[in-house]
Chains A and B, each alone.
Chain A
Amino acid sequence: MSKRIKTPIYLSGPQSEQLQKKLLLKQQKIQSQLDDVTDRYVSSVKKRQENPKLRMAPVFALSRKMANLELQLQRVNLGLLRLSEGKYPKRNWWEEIKFRFSQLSYQKQKVIFGLLFLLPWFIGFCVFFAYPLGTSLWWSLNKMTVVSGGGYSFEFVGFGNYRDLFVSETLAGATISEVLTSSIINILINLPTILIFSLFIAVLLNTKFKGHQLVKAIFFIPVVYNMTVINNTLTGTFGRLFDSDLDQSLALSTQFSNFLMQVGVGSGLVTFLTDAVGRIFTIVNMSGIQILIFIAALQSIPVHLYEAAKVEGATKYEMFWKITIPMISPMVLTAAVYTIVDSFATSEIIRFMTVNSQGTTMSVNQPGLYSAISVIYFLANALIIALMFLALRKQVFYYDK
Chain B
Amino acid sequence: MTSNVKKTWKERTILKLKNWQMQVKEQLQSATKRQVLKNRLIDFIITVFKYILVIGLCFVILYPLLLQLAIAFRAPTDVNNPTVLWIPGEFSLKNFEVSLIALRYWKALKNSFILAFGVTILQLVSTSLAGYAFARLPFKGSKLLFGLALFTIIVPQTVISLPILRSVTKMGLIGKPITIFLMAGLGMGIKSGIFIYLFRQFYRGIPTELEEAAYVDGANVFQVFYRIMLPNARGAIITVALLAFVWQWNDYYFTTLFISRSNIDFMTLTTQQVSVLYGLQQALTDAGIWGLMGQEITNNPLFSSMILNTSGILVMIPLLVMYFFVQKLFVTGIERSGIVG
Contact = CB atoms under 8 A, between A and B. Distances in A.
A220 B335 CA distance: 13
Contacts of A297: 339-340
A252 B339 CA distance: 38
Interface string B110-143: 0000000000000000110110111011110010
Interface in A92-148: 106, 109-111, 113-115, 117-118, 120-125, 127-129, 131-133, 135-136, 139
A363 B256 CA distance: 13
A375 B61 contact: no
Contact of A218 (B61, B183, B239, B340): B61
A60 to B, nearest CB: 20
Interface string B299-326: 0011011101100100110011001100
Given A128-B164, A370-B162, A338 B194 contact: yes
Nearest to A241: B302
Nearest to B222: A113
Interface string A135-170: 110010000000000000000000000000000000
B159 A125 contact: no
Contact of A125 (B67, B187, B315, B338): B187
A331 B339 contact: yes
A374 B62 contact: no
A245 B82 contact: yes
A224 B246 contact: yes
A223 interface: yes
A233 B312 contact: yes
A84 B340 CA distance: 58
A87 interface: no
A285 B82 CA distance: 30
A115 B139 contact: yes
A10 interface: no
A378 B308 contact: no
B330 interface: yes
A240 to B, nearest CB: 9
30 contacts: A113-B221, A117-B129, A118-B129, A120-B185, A121-B126, A121-B187, A123-B186, A125-B152, A125-B187, A129-B152, A129-B155, A132-B159, A132-B164, A136-B159, A213-B328, A216-B331, A220-B331, A221-B65, A226-B315, A232-B305, A232-B308, A233-B71, A237-B302, A242-B71, A299-B335, A299-B336, A300-B338, A345-B156, A363-B162, A385-B154
> Which 3 interchain pairs have the tightest Cβ spacing?
A124-B186, A114-B137, A132-B163
Interface of A: 106, 109-111, 113-115, 117-118, 120-125, 127-129, 131-133, 135-136, 139, 201, 204, 209, 213, 215-226, 228-230, 232-234, 236-239, 241-242, 245, 280-281, 284-285, 292-293, 295-297, 299-300, 328, 330-331, 334, 337-338, 341, 344-345, 350, 353, 363, 367, 370-371, 374-375, 377-378, 381-382, 385
Interface of B: 47, 50-51, 53-54, 57-58, 60-65, 67-68, 71, 82, 85, 126-127, 129-130, 132-134, 136-139, 142, 145, 148-149, 152-156, 158-164, 166-167, 183, 185-188, 194, 196-197, 205, 215, 220-222, 225, 239, 242-243, 246, 250, 252, 270, 273-274, 301-302, 304-306, 308-309, 312, 315-316, 319-320, 323-324, 327-328, 330-331, 334-340
